[in-house]
Amino acid sequence: MKKKIAFITGIAGQDGSFLTELLLKKNYKVYGIIRRNSVVEHQRNRIEHLSKNLELLYGDLLNESSLAQLLRKIKPNEIYNLAAQSHVRISFDIPEFTAKTNALGVLNILQAYKNEAPSAKFYQASSSEMFGRSVDKDGYQRETTPMEPTSPYGCSKVFAYNLVKHFRFAYKLFACNGILFNHESTRRGSNFVTNKVVKNSVKIALGFQKYLEVGNIHAYRDWGHAKDYVKAMHKILNYKKPDDWVVATGQTRSVGQMIDYVFNRLNLNKKKHLRINKKFFRPEELKYLKGDSRKIRKTLKWKPEYSFENMLDEMIDFWMDFYKKNNRSKEF
Ligand code: F7E
């Protein structure tokens, strides 16, 4: 049987690397684009262990002609658009770059898709950050919840989400949105709160440092594991029709509760080791997320395998092992 071909933007990120592993296991040929960066060394460390069925190319969402050229050449069956400026707090510092990449960048890849590979299926990494201040009366966000984003990041993602729907209806394209709630792993960037808390707490437990410094501990998030969530992406593109899907665990916890779990496991005392630093606060905070993912569970038979505790345990064990083996200055 002919190999299926996937094209992934953002392949070097947490989700891109897990999705690539999943698709290679399913016998896909995978092409991914990475942006040119002056430091070559750190761009491939999440994926360089993968196989000969993976090809990395230079590309950028802001360069439409190169995207078009790549899609014409590669002729993918599935396109996964995971590239973004994905850090919400940083989006307040660089709103214009965030909007260009996350909103206009999606317009660029959709144009290239429509013109060069219209028979492919298209996945857009949409986000629970699009819901912002909006929560349904029963305390959940779902596909029908109005969107009221609270950050430049959230606003840019709403623009892209609407474009994807528009391209689906206007040009009859198989273009889908996965509205993913927070999803984490050991591969999460260490300036996102879960991996930041785990790495720093492990270092405190090992005596390498004294404090964990964080921002708002009263925000609630619905945290799942990235490995489970990339399975949802694949299911979304392999359903009989294009649609929009919420992917979430349906459980919510505050940042403070997450820190409690990690500190308890490592026998750390909050009074002694936790500090609040205003510099990690956002001008406007998204206060509460809890996703209702009944639609994808029922229709696509998706469900998360990891619990919140299993996920954090995996992260704690990984970093404990890592910092015990390595000198603490050798990080990635
Ligand atoms: O923050 C609070 C912070 O940066 C989670 C991205 O993948 O998920 C992610 O966005 C919460 C917020 O993720 C610190 O204020 C407290 O309430 O881990 P985060 P995020 O902003 O929810 C969505 C679904 C995406 O789409 C995004 O791309 O934790 N918080 N203290 C902190 N957050 C950080 N980063 N650092 C702190 O020190």
User: Domain holding 90: CATH number?
Assistant: 3.40.50.720
140/80 same-domain check: yes
Instruction: Name the residue among 57, 17, 54 with its Cα closest to residue 36.
Output: 57
pLDDT one-digit tens code per residue, 164-216: 999 999 999 999 999 999 999 999 999 999 999 999 999 999 999 999 999 99
105/196 same-domain check: no
Tokens of 52: 């000969």
| 193 alpha carbon – ligand 1 mean position (Å) | 5
Q: What is the predicted pLDDT for the residue at 40? A: 57
Q: Give the C-alpha separation, 167 to 176, whole Å.
A: 10
| 133 alpha carbon – ligand 1 mean position (Å) | 15
97 has a pLDDT exceeding 90: yes
262 has a pLDDT exceeding 90: yes
* 58 falls within a domain: yes
Catalytic residues: 127, 129, 153
16/119 same-domain check: yes
Mean confidence (pLDDT) of the chain: 95
Single pTM value for the model: 0.96
331 has a pLDDT exceeding 80: no
What average pLDDT does this structure show over 36-62?
A: 77
| 170 alpha carbon – ligand 1 mean position (Å) | 34
38/70 same-domain check: yes
21/103 same-domain check: yes
Ligand 1 neighbours by CB, cut-off 6 Å: 86, 88-89, 127-129, 181-182, 191-193, 196, 214-216, 219, 221, 255, 280, 282, 285
What average pLDDT does this structure show over 272-297?
A: 98
Q: Give the C-alpha separation, 330 to 332, whole Å.
A: 7
Q: What is the predicted pLDDT for the residue at 189? A: 96
| 253 alpha carbon – ligand 1 mean position (Å) | 13
9 has a pLDDT exceeding 90: yes
The H-or-E segment that residue 116 falls in is: helix 105-116
Q: Give the C-alpha separation, 260 to 255, whole Å.
A: 9
| Closest Cα to atom 27 of ligand 1 | 86
Place of tokens 């469900």: 303
Q: What is the predicted pLDDT for the residue at 134? A: 98
What average pLDDT does this structure show over 121-144?
A: 98
Pocket perturbation via mutation, ligand 1, pick of 86, 221, 246, 288 by most ligand atoms within 8 A of CB: 221
Query: How many separate domains does the chain show?
Result: 2
Range of the domain at 125: 5-183+224-247
Q: What is the predicted pLDDT for the residue at 36? A: 77
* 295 falls within a domain: no
Q: Which atom of ligand 1 is nearest to the CA of 180?
A: 24
Q: What is the predicted pLDDT for the residue at 37? A: 73
209/234 same-domain check: no
* 296 falls within a domain: no
3-state helix, strand and coil shares in percent for the chain, rounded to the nearest 5? 45, 15, 40
165/200 same-domain check: no
Q: What is the predicted pLDDT for the residue at 114? A: 98
165/212 same-domain check: no
Instruction: Name the residue among 299, 314, 300, 147 with its Cα closest to residue 224.
Output: 314
Q: Give the C-alpha separation, 50 to 274, whole Å.
A: 38
297 has a pLDDT exceeding 60: yes
What average pLDDT does this structure show over 45-49?
A: 66
* 28 falls within a domain: yes
